[in-house]
Amino acid sequence: MSVVVNIKQNPKKTKKIGLKFLNGWLRTCNLCFGVPNQAYCLENYEGKEDLRNQLLIIYNPKSLGRGFSFTIEENYDVELVLNFPATKNDIILFYKFIDLFCSNFKIKTFIHEGEEYSLDKIESLMNATIAFNKKLVKNDLESDLTIFGCIYPIVLEKDFIKKIKQLNEDEAYQLYEEYLNKKQKEDYYFAKPIIYEDKNKKYYAKYALTENVPTIFPIETYLPFGYDQNLEKNIKTWNVSLIENKNGKFDLLDEISYDNFCKLVDLSKYPKFDEKHIIITFNQEILEKTDKYLIDKAKIELENWLSDIRELGRKPVKIEYTNTFEENGIKCYIFKYKKTLLSKWFLGIVSDSGTFSEMKEYNKNTEVEDAKRIIKLLQEIWKKTVDN
């Protein structure tokens, strides 16, 4: 449910509405605006001066509710949409904005839900909208319902709904406004899934966690409302990418499956954001846990490779991780292993270029150089295979 308002300019006295004008005008009104991304999180507008046909969200930074959408049409008429259930402050802002806009552009009437009204009707329309939304909040809110706030989408929590049901209409309406404002006051990154498609029309989803950035993270995988929901059943893997931030330079440190990441960090230990999300920050503790997991995974991969009848033919009696390095985007884990209890140590690697051992003796002083030589050998073998 929503209220849609259309404001039409005089065709003979049309004023252009561009980025510079809107920025300046909103600043004088102590308002802000942005654009919703695919997950309906607000982002800064970084487009051109011409704002026509661009969906914008206008909001009051001192009271973060849902704001309202603002679209400039091709002929510079505008459309405003206030989504329900709206907070009291959102509704006041919406109708005040209509009044200011019409006065500024010397427009005497506006279209409200298909009917034309003069500016002196604004207060009565506003009061009716407040009364209607007050009842909506008290009677119709349910847990797991997603409210698209001006900054983040928020999935209403069961505990919040219980509180709402215990209050009268005025108290419930006030609590709803405070709830949305509190949820959106903190500066978080919303971990929206990034979808990749390969040449075989298979899809892969990734969440990004950036070092030291508090992140709204899902407690189970899903595609937000703005995505093509038909893709979900065709997504082959869900992964978590851990991104290092070094003075504004972002590098991929590790990548791990979503399920394994959740087991490692135990999401239940982190504070809730809403019914579907927690707040998590990628820090040294998480890095150490994921590093250990990836090392253990690489160790099993090397053991399985050595067990092949064409190689060692069995698992080594002993295997130890020794080092990790990355060069030219290729990450490599180095291991030493023993064929028998009394044998020497031998070198083996697991890398983005492949898993391999030349069955040559391990040397601590040259392990990285030896591993790089093996990677080069694997790349040459792969190149010959592709060429043929």
Confidence of residue 55 (pLDDT cuts 50, 70, 90): very high
Average pLDDT along the chain:
90
**Alpha-carbon span 232 to 212, nearest angstrom:** 29
CB atoms within 10 A of CB 369: 9
DSSP 213: -
CB 347 within 8 A of CB 364: no
Mean pLDDT of 20-40: 89
CB 60 within 8 A of CB 180: no
**Alpha-carbon span 232 to 249, nearest angstrom:** 32
H-helix or E-strand spanning residue 308 = none
Q: What are the tens digits of pLDDT across the range 259-309?
A: 999 988 889 999 999 999 999 999 888 888 888 888 999 999 999 999 998
HSE toward the beta carbon, residue 325, CA cutoff 13 A: 14
- Residue written as tokens 């031998």? 346
Q: pTM score, two decimals? A: 0.81
pLDDT at residue 386, as a whole number: 57
DSSP 163: H
**Alpha-carbon span 182 to 186, nearest angstrom:** 8
Q: 3-class DSSP state for residue 14?
A: coil
Torsional sign, CA 326, 327, 333, 336: negative
pLDDT of residue 105 exceeding 80? yes
pLDDT at residue 200, as a whole number: 77
Joined together, the tokens standing for residue 238 give: 């869900």
Joined together, the tokens standing for residue 57 give: 């969200």
Q: What are the tens digits of pLDDT across the range 340-384?
A: 988 899 999 999 888 999 899 999 999 999 999 998 888 887 776
Q: What are the tens digits of pLDDT across the range 77-102?
A: 999 999 999 999 999 999 999 998 89
pLDDT at residue 86, as a whole number: 96
Portion of the chain with pLDDT greater than 90, in percent: 60
C-alpha to C-alpha distances, 326 to 159, 295, 350, 367, 372, nearest whole angstrom: 47, 14, 12, 13, 10
pLDDT at residue 177, as a whole number: 95
Portion of the chain with pLDDT greater than 70, in percent: 99
